[in-house]
Structure 1
């Protein structure tokens, strides 16, 4: 996990160069024939990348994006009219039966299909109308790291070209150097605070919600630590009742339109005597976790890179093997 996560900067640099022609062509096609909506098909870490993609597509392009429930096709055998839709399947292995079923159903329903994956000869890659390789290389650790960051980069690349957002694209092409800085960021305060924790909430909002989901998963699978991801808005609807000195928050904050609301939440929890670890912002009383300054759309990728190094250290600190989580396998063949 440590070695593979540390390769993320090189992966993104390689991917941006290798995919430029294909991404430019696909973006031009999508501008010429705009989809009436988009849907995502994914599980696990890939689904958390899809959450990031939803916020990115809706905020930059105004295209309604929803997550498809794979069981609709794989278990119930139901179908929908998806004429004019763009179906995006994200899978590191490209072999999960339920994702394949959902994407086949989407194509049969009239959708244009796009696959993001790490294996060019996978069934998902071969069946999609368009395949964008992640170029992450072999990933042996059960916990996905560099392939998750590669998925975020691929979504940023496509949406940036599709929207003609030069500022975001420039930031993305600067991301490999920033990922290197993020990998060196000192998140040891998180390791110390959570070494003996029993549970926590991981908070994000907007573009940061997908990485909150990803961090919560990594706490569970590599650290034996129960964590739930919530939106900074949603956590106030009931879950806040658990927050206090013995139930900390890890908060991912980006410098965009969501920043003020996230800062208000952090300040509220600190005032109540709760412990808050936060990447971004500067609320007095919160424990600061650094990441490089960047365009708000790029920040989540940098934050999760810094988190991965700390999560690996926390796993070892708590007596776990981050490369071999109990009861888990690299390819999960859910039907």
Structure 2
């Protein structure tokens, strides 16, 4: 798991080079298409990447984005004719999950423009797509996806940057290798003592880091059998906060944009409840955190969010081993999940 996660910076850099012309043309085509909305199609970690795409598309491209549940097409065959001319971004590491393929096929029959963001460019999902964006993560043998997730986020950022002609985001992508390499070397092991014996916890994010929190919570479940739930720092006060008491861990993945608004006050509420707050992206003099995790602050908010999951993966493996688990082969999981 660690070996593959550490490949992500170099893989992402190479991806941007290999995909430069392809993604530029895809962005041009999508601008000309000018769709009323976009849909995403994914499961598992890829669905967290889809949520990241929603943030990118709605904030940077101004396009409403919905999550198209695979079962709507694969089981119910209820895909709407209103999908005609609408981009459907299907995200899958393997490109071989039967329900995703069936749902994408159904949407295409209704006129959707299927865009496959896949690691395997020869997969069945890629074969049925009109636009294929390979993430170029290379073979990934650890059941817990790491480098493929990071590379997928970079590919989605690249697509939206070209689509929206966002010069700041395009310029930021030139630094992705250095940003991710620094993140891979960041030491987040200080969180391990607070999480080693935990049974449940919250992971908070907002804006670009909410999908990152979702992926972190999923990996904590997969690799450490730790019941972690992700919430927006804005939404957590609407009920879930009542679950947190003395000594309970709360991992905070702070955004580097306007979504930070109100975060300090929320953490003060958790601190007053006696929670063990572990914060990334906030210095000690800004947050009432018992444990502050190192994170580079002088980068674009989108890259800062991707950097947080890059740093988190090393923590996830260290914690899994500390809890007596095998992070490379979690029980009851397979590399390709064949949901029907």
User: Please, what TM-score do these two structures have when normalized by structure 1?
Assistant: 0.98
Q: Which whole-Å CA distance do the structure 2 matches of 1:262 and 1:144 have between them?
A: 29
Deviation string for 1:124-151 (max 9, x for gaps)?
0010001000100000000000000011
Task: After the TM superposition, list the runs of 4 or more consecutive aligned residues in structure 1 that deviate by more than 4 angstroms.
Answer: none
Equivalent residues in 2 for 1:302-313, closer than 5 Å: 302-313=307-318
The unaligned stretches of length 5 or more in structure 2 are: none
- In the TM superposition, residue 84 of structure 1 has moved relative to its aligned partner by 2.5
> Given the alignment of the two structures, is residue 314 of structure 1 paired with residue 315 of structure 2, yes or no?
no
Q: Which whole-Å CA distance do the structure 2 matches of 1:152 and 1:263 have between them?
A: 27
Q: Which residue of 1 aligns with 2:220?
A: 219
Deviation string for 1:21-66 (max 9, x for gaps)?
0000011111122111100000000000000110110001111101
> Given the alignment of the two structures, is residue 290 of structure 1 paired with residue 291 of structure 2, yes or no?
no
Q: Is contact 1:38–1:85 with CA below 8 Å preserved after alignment?
A: yes
- In the TM superposition, residue 271 of structure 1 has moved relative to its aligned partner by 2.6
Structure 1 range deviating more: 311-320 or 185-194 = 185-194
The unaligned stretches of length 5 or more in structure 1 are: none
Q: Is contact 2:77–2:106 with CA below 8 Å preserved after alignment?
A: no
- In the TM superposition, residue 317 of structure 1 has moved relative to its aligned partner by 0.5
- In the TM superposition, residue 120 of structure 1 has moved relative to its aligned partner by 1.3
Q: Is contact 1:249–1:275 with CA below 8 Å preserved after alignment?
A: yes
> Given the alignment of the two structures, is residue 38 of structure 1 paired with residue 57 of structure 2, yes or no?
no
Q: Which whole-Å CA distance do the structure 2 matches of 1:41 and 1:200 have between them?
A: 28
- In the TM superposition, residue 285 of structure 1 has moved relative to its aligned partner by 2.8
> Given the alignment of the two structures, is residue 157 of structure 1 paired with residue 191 of structure 2, yes or no?
no
Equivalent residues in 2 for 1:128-139, closer than 5 Å: 128-139=129-140
Alpha-carbon RMSD across the aligned residues, in angstroms, is: 1.0
- In the TM superposition, residue 267 of structure 1 has moved relative to its aligned partner by 2.1
Among 318, 323, 334, the alignment partner of 1:329 is 334
Q: Which whole-Å CA distance do the structure 2 matches of 1:199 and 1:172 have between them?
A: 36
Q: Which whole-Å CA distance do the structure 1 matches of 2:145 and 2:263 have between them?
A: 27
- In the TM superposition, residue 284 of structure 1 has moved relative to its aligned partner by 4.0
Deviation string for 1:218-266 (max 9, x for gaps)?
0000011110111112211111011122322111111211112222211
User: Please, what TM-score do these two structures have when normalized by structure 2?
Assistant: 0.96
- In the TM superposition, residue 167 of structure 1 has moved relative to its aligned partner by 1.1
Deviation string for 1:154-186 (max 9, x for gaps)?
011011111111111111120111111101111
Q: Which residue of 1 aligns with 2:246?
A: 245
Q: Which whole-Å CA distance do the structure 2 matches of 1:12 and 1:291 have between them?
A: 19
